[in-house]
Structure 1
């Protein structure tokens, strides 16, 4: 779908979308159109349950006095309470409604908003962003597609004052959405298509954006002593990979500043290894690389909008498979840090991958901070459901900034505690650490975070457990069912608001 921006004018074809505020207060253009159509809008509102709330839509077909095929009224609620995520929801919902109606083009009139928080040009860009997010579909492998369910909308024009400003704002938003789409694509791919080597190849495609990409094979990782990561992948016929992506966008004196670092768990398929998972639902483990997918999409977003900051993204890509060479429960592996790990459960493998990826990142790049993302524990879904990612860390300021960024973009996080009492559970009687706790199923997500903390070497660090957020079983206005792309917007906002250009 293509997006365009123009100064306010009524279209001569296609569909027309107009805003209505709380209690059915018409926007200025809606009032004008109501006069042109001899009260059609007023009559339609009077005979419906439409109340101008966010999520309210009302369609008027073949309106008299206009050449458009339909008018779609959309609610914006109380202006003083309007947020960017509300506007994105409107955009995403509008796309779905118009596609179901078979519309091919729409002009959305965005009149001046009486609010100090949102400029009209930003509102128009936000609606376009929501529409773009909501238009996503993963149909790469479908050969028998019902034409009646195919999207028909090919063009959306946002008509507003200062349309050039809106167009510029949307350019950055579009780059971010492209990063989200890459993450959704990666998470949606089946494991026979996306495996460590092919994942690395997808990352290498980002060099066209100016990202430096380096791929470490198993021989290089062996020389570095990455026994934890390699141990996870040794049961697979697919070789493991560590991918390092660098975006050096800082200029001048800031070019030598320490980079920000994002690290992702990339278990391209997780059978559980010898500690085999139940068959029911195992197909979902194709998205156990969701953390690595987010890091990759974030790097594309930052490079796409030419962020003025130095950032490194590191992803550890493996398959966790059960064969004659697979790691066994009770094995002891030696991590790159030199710490030995007793592997009591081979299905607690993501933390082993991250152990070496985190240590490598802090050791090589000496970053300003590290944020890692991982679909790490089912326990976090029990705790937080699918509304928030679990957040853990050793730095209050970084955690607070991530929490605030999440609220701004509608990607929630919730911080959980860490302490020595939990850390004691990963002490092994025969090695330095063990990969699961002694407390059974209790506090599983916290114990996993305590394990990761042993490999950050006092660098400011936050761990995001996104097991409940990387995939959605429901269809939402801006997040279609499937891979969500969670975390790309959250971390882009973190970078933009607190680190870029400073």
Structure 2
């Protein structure tokens, strides 16, 4: 991962990145921000002349490369910071990761007196946008090895940079898990990755239920969805238990390591990216590991129900009745609506056995999420106004996006089956909404302290876009860590 160093004095000035911001004048449209370091002679005047000539506006994410043969620094990288808030600096860091990708080291002075949030945004942007995932040789891998951030007092920014590093590292871990092809990634492999990541972390406890355990303990939804695969299902339970924690949060993440649709098989176009169908599980596991790394004073238990939804003579069928953990039954109208079956088991287990204060699930659950809200925005459901507002505030602060959706009472009747307690996927439409209402049936006494996030669309990016890179986005890790950090 890209190295970030906080320094009071520069060690090298081969490449110097300098922040510029918009002015309220047409000439010049942008200006150099006063920084916490002495600039080499002539650099400020050169930039003042460059800004109007290059039509630099100082908007966040804007960059320019000025080559200076035979001089030090050899290259100047003016970059826009807009209003200069954390979000703008995140965009600036992401843009710099791109424009400086072929450099070895960049020196970047922060503005004089900049708040620590500026450093957090910058570092998150740099680290997230420099992410790459490839199993073969990559001749286009970034060469940028280090960024030296010049500040007046490194101690002032150390905590913010440490949080940014952990947040980025956990987001990158979630991206790695989601990006991994299903030829490698199955429920057992995923559980092994969690075990490796959790090994040796104080106060972090792991239990993995194997297929035999799941059947014996009545996790009928997980067993049914995994029944068609040669790779048996798992239930990962990862518990961060700091001493003195006053709040207990359970996070549940959908973990379908590959989804063919089962007997209700998907077309090829709908199946080719189904290695990403465990994005919710990746996010909640990574957020819990991040909470433990940062020693957040809140207890966090993550449940990741894992299964491959495959086609075989043992696959569950549309019309089958599944008995979930706790006894509720579902008539499975569509085997491609499998995620809610595994989540139902995990939610019921959380309520009955773990007694949390708050319950949150993340799932790449429905294509209807993208139809309603597009590719960048998750759908958030909750009956609790304050809880929903707090999570939405954390999502916004993290630079992700979500929109609160309704839970209409008159849609609940769609779920009532004549054969079982519930239909798993009613045919009346409103796919994301009805899926959320189905999950709510398994939240019991936690119904008014539960949040469901349908994050299928924003879990994947088709192109590099600011701090996102093409492929898995790790959506939810940043938002969850922001929110958990407010609960101590």
Shift of the alpha carbon at 1:62?
1.9
Q: Structure 1, residues 283-315: CA drift from partner, whole Å, max 9, x if none?
A: 101110110010111112111111111110000
User: Which structure 2 residues correspond to residues 6-405 of structure 1 after superposition, within 5 A?
Assistant: 6-7=7-8, 9=9, 12-22=12-22, 23-29=29-35, 33=39, 36-37=42-43, 39-62=45-68, 67-78=72-83, 82-99=84-101, 102-112=102-112, 119-139=114-134, 141-143=135-137, 145-146=138-139, 149-205=140-196, 206-210=198-202, 211-249=204-242, 251=243, 254-255=244-245, 257-405=246-394
Please give the alpha-carbon distance, in whole angstroms, between the structure 1 residues aligned to 2:43 and 2:435: 63
The match for 2:441 is 454
Moved more, 129-138 or 39-48: 39-48
Please give the alpha-carbon distance, in whole angstroms, between the structure 2 residues aligned to 1:282 and 1:495: 34
Please give the alpha-carbon distance, in whole angstroms, between the structure 1 residues aligned to 2:443 and 2:234: 20
Please give the alpha-carbon distance, in whole angstroms, between the structure 1 residues aligned to 2:455 and 2:120: 28
Question: What SS does the corresponding residue of 2:254 show, helix, strand or coil?
Answer: strand
Instruction: Answer yes or no: is the 8 Å Cα contact 2:61–2:94 preserved in 1.
Output: no
The match for 2:25 is none
Question: What SS does the corresponding residue of 1:476 show, helix, strand or coil?
Answer: coil
Q: Structure 1, residues 166-196: CA drift from partner, whole Å, max 9, x if none?
A: 1232112211211111100000001111100
For residues 232 and 14 of structure 1, do their structure 2 counterparts lie closer, same or farther at Cα, with a shift above 3 Å needed? same
Give the TM-score, by structure 2 length: 0.94
Q: Structure 1, residues 420-476: CA drift from partner, whole Å, max 9, x if none?
A: 21111010011111111141xx21111111110111112110000001011110111
For residues 267 and 481 of structure 1, do their structure 2 counterparts lie closer, same or farther at Cα, with a shift above 3 Å needed? same
Please give the alpha-carbon distance, in whole angstroms, between the structure 2 residues aligned to 1:16 and 1:123: 18
Instruction: Answer yes or no: is the 8 Å Cα contact 1:260–1:369 preserved in 2.
Output: yes
Give the TM-score, by structure 1 length: 0.91
Structure 2: unaligned runs, 5 residues or longer: 23-28
Question: What SS does the corresponding residue of 1:28 show, helix, strand or coil?
Answer: coil
Instruction: Answer yes or no: is the 8 Å Cα contact 2:31–2:51 preserved in 1.
Output: no
Shift of the alpha carbon at 1:403?
0.8
Please give the alpha-carbon distance, in whole angstroms, between the structure 1 residues aligned to 2:214 and 2:382: 27
Please give the alpha-carbon distance, in whole angstroms, between the structure 1 residues aligned to 2:379 and 2:91: 24
Q: Structure 1, residues 211-270: CA drift from partner, whole Å, max 9, x if none?
A: 211001122111221112211111111110001000012x3xx34x45211001100000
